[in-house]
Every structure is written in C-alpha cells, then in structure tokens.
Amino acid sequence: MARKAKQKKGMQTAARKLVTSVNPKSIVSEQFRTMRTNINFSMPDKELQTILVTSASPGDGKSTVVANTAVVYAEEGKRVLLVDADMRKPTVHYTFHMTNTLGLSNLLTRQATFSEVVNKSETEGLDIITCGPIPPNPAELLSSRTMDKVLEEMKNHYDIILFDAPPVLSVTDAQILSNKCDGTILVLSSGQTEKEGVIKTKEALVASQANIIGAVLNNFVLDKDHYYYQYYGTGE
C-alpha cells in the first residue's frame, strides 16, 4: 500500500512539472514561450525540425524543459512529437501519465510499428513516443540504420520532433543522437552545474558535430522586484 502511494506521489510530482499546461499564464510558462521564439530565430536560413535536449549531468532538469517546450510548440499550432530517447532512466511516461509498454526501443528493434508506439497527449497537436522497455544496448540502437529510417518517418508526420536524451557526461547516447538532429539544446542548472562539466559537455557535442543552438539556465530564481513580477504578476 505504501509503495502504491509512493508511486502515485511520484507521478503527481512529475505532472506538476508541466507548468505550461497547468499554469499557462505564469512567469515560467512565458519563459518557455520566449525559448520557443528564440529557437525559431536561432537559424533563420535553415528549418529546425529535429531538436535534441540534453544536459551535462543528471538532475539538471532537461526532461522538464523538453516536455514544456513540446507543449508550447503544440499551442502554437505545430504538429509536435516528443520522443523519450533516454533509454536509461526514462521519465516522459510519468510526466504525461502514460504506460511504457511500447515505445522507442520496440520501434528500433522492429517489434512494433510507428503507429503502434505513438500516443496522443491531452495537449492538442502533441504526440508522445515513450521509451518502451529499457534495452541492454541503447547506444547501438540510436546509432543504427533503423534509427535513421525512423527519424525520416517522424519528419514526414510532424513539424517539430523533440528528443529527451540522457546527460552527455553519463553515456554516449546524446552525442550519437545530436549528430542526427538539426539542433541541440543544453540544459544547465543554476548553482548546480559546474563550469568544468559544461566545458566537457560542449567539447563532446562539438566532437560529435552537433549543432548547438543554445543553452537553458534552469532553476534560476528571480528577485521579487524583477520587472517580470511587476508585469506578469506573481504566478508560480
């Protein structure tokens, strides 16, 4: 009984991270819309259709950032696909209250079709592909030709495809996938991510020929007298 209560609490905590859905008028939600605009203008001469979101280390908040970014893109009227490519410690299915029976791992091992692994979210225009059963060889699956074919199929169905990838300094998965995506966003945690870790992360992504389009400073606390509070109010 206690275990079930703990699991339910964990899912509620994950769901609360979708501030763009539960509190769209908040300061944080506005920042995600600003982020969306910055992404759109980051490369005016090239279409950014596939975007990887990663971090230097675990706990920087990249899964929260990519989930909320997916929501604001869908609210813009885009056809959006959020893919949980963190086949080590997946969390997207918790955030969106979905089962993780079928997902990306099934697709890459040819145990399921594309239509079978796509889930509709509560946000109109936003579809989700969860991780699926955790495989023993995530890096090999992401670097496979099957992944290239899957990526092309995704592009045929959606305007924006966002990937939630593992931290760069933990495993090679993000480096592999960053090479296949149009752009990469690095999430940093204010007061937590160390400068040396950021430098190593950037070097690893550059070595993989990733197109780093920007960074997000997460968990930054605004002063109460900041102009955002004065203009937008005291939303969460």
Lowest mean pLDDT among 101-115, 121-135, 190-204: 190-204
What letter would DSSP give residue 48?
A: -
pLDDT of residue 23: 80
pLDDT of residue 26: 79
Contact between 118 and 129 (Cβ < 8 Å): yes
What is the distance between the alpha carbons of residues 186 and 198, in angstroms, rounded to a whole number? 9
Lowest mean pLDDT among 9-18, 147-156, 163-172: 9-18
206-212 long-range contacts, CB within 8 A, separation 24+: 207/175, 208/175, 208/176, 208/178, 208/179, 209/179, 210/52, 210/175, 210/178, 210/179, 210/181, 210/184, 211/43, 211/178, 211/181, 211/182, 211/183, 211/184, 212/183, 212/184, 212/185, 212/186
What is the distance between the alpha carbons of residues 142 and 177, in angstroms, rounded to a whole number? 7
Tell me the two tokens of residue 135: 């495989």
What is the distance between the alpha carbons of residues 146 and 69, in angstroms, rounded to a whole number? 27
**Encoded amino acid at 186, one letter:** L
What is the distance between the alpha carbons of residues 149 and 144, in angstroms, rounded to a whole number? 9
pLDDT at 1 over 70: no
**DSSP string spanning 117-183?**
H-EE-SSTTEEEE---SPPS-HHHHHTSHHHHHHHHHHHHH-SEEEEE---TTT-SHHHHHHTTSSE
Contact between 221 and 192 (Cβ < 8 Å): no
Where do we find the tokens 């030709």? 145
Domain 47-230 = CATH 3.40.50.300: yes
Residues 6 or more apart whose Cβ sits within 8 Å of residue 49: 155, 158, 159, 160, 161, 182
Considering only residues 41 and 229, tell me which one the structure prediction assigns the higher pLDDT.
41
pLDDT of residue 235: 46
pLDDT of residue 224: 53
Domain boundaries, given as residue ranges, for the chain: 47-230
Considering only residues 11 and 177, tell me which one the structure prediction assigns the higher pLDDT.
177
Of 173, 162, 156, 179, nearest in space to 123 by CA: 162
Mean pLDDT of 95-114: 96
pLDDT at 126 over 50: yes
pLDDT in tens, 211-229: 999 999 887 665 555 444 4
Lowest mean pLDDT among 64-78, 151-165, 185-199: 185-199
pLDDT of residue 34: 86
